[in-house]
Structure 1
Amino acid sequence: MDLHSISRITVESEKCGGRPCIRGMRIRVTDILALLGAGASINEILDDFPELEREDILASLNYAAEKLDSNAARN
């Protein structure tokens, strides 16, 4: 994952139970992934969450891919 994507994903113990969020907001990476998994397009998500940027959604996908890959490597 590139450094620009990494900076968009934040983990703060006092927000969302310490789960990964987008740029310190209370929008979790899993929220973005769930919307995409349910069939929402990037443009639909951006319309529903105007504070998000396209790069935030791509960073969420990159973050998830990185986590899955690192988990698979440990197993």
Structure 2
Amino acid sequence: MMKVSPISRDANVMGGTPVFAGTRVPVQTFLDYLEAGDSIDEFLVGFPSVKREQVIAFLEEAKDRLVASVS
């Protein structure tokens, strides 16, 4: 079974900026929220088109890639 990425990149959506799939919300915006000390819940309130499951899947995918890169 193929895993669907929580992130999409399409030249026709936000000029190819990585966004949460099915939205126009850039992943960078989420990372900016975290960097500022905001919680996932605060981000989700501000961007209701993004689902909690997408955020968790993004974080899990990022973790897996990081772990694989240092192994």
Q: Greater relative contact order: 1 or 2 (C-alpha under 8 angstroms, separation 6 or more)? A: 1
Specify the SS of the correspondent of 1:3.
coil
Number of aligned positions between the proteins: 68
Between the aligned residues of both structures, percent identity stands at 34
Structure 2 portions without partners, runs of 5+: none
CA distance in structure 2 between the aligned counterparts of 1:34 and 1:11, rounded to whole angstroms: 19
CA contact (8 A) 2:7 2:20 kept: yes
TM-score norm. by structure 2 comes to: 0.71
Offset at 1:11? 0.7
**Which of 25, 35, 38 is the aligned partner of 1:37?**
35
Stretches of 4+ moved more than 3 A in 1? 62-65
TM-score norm. by structure 1 comes to: 0.68
CA distance in structure 2 between the aligned counterparts of 1:40 and 1:28, rounded to whole angstroms: 16
Equivalent residue, structure 2, for 1:48:
46
- Aligned CA RMSD, in angstroms, stands at 2.4
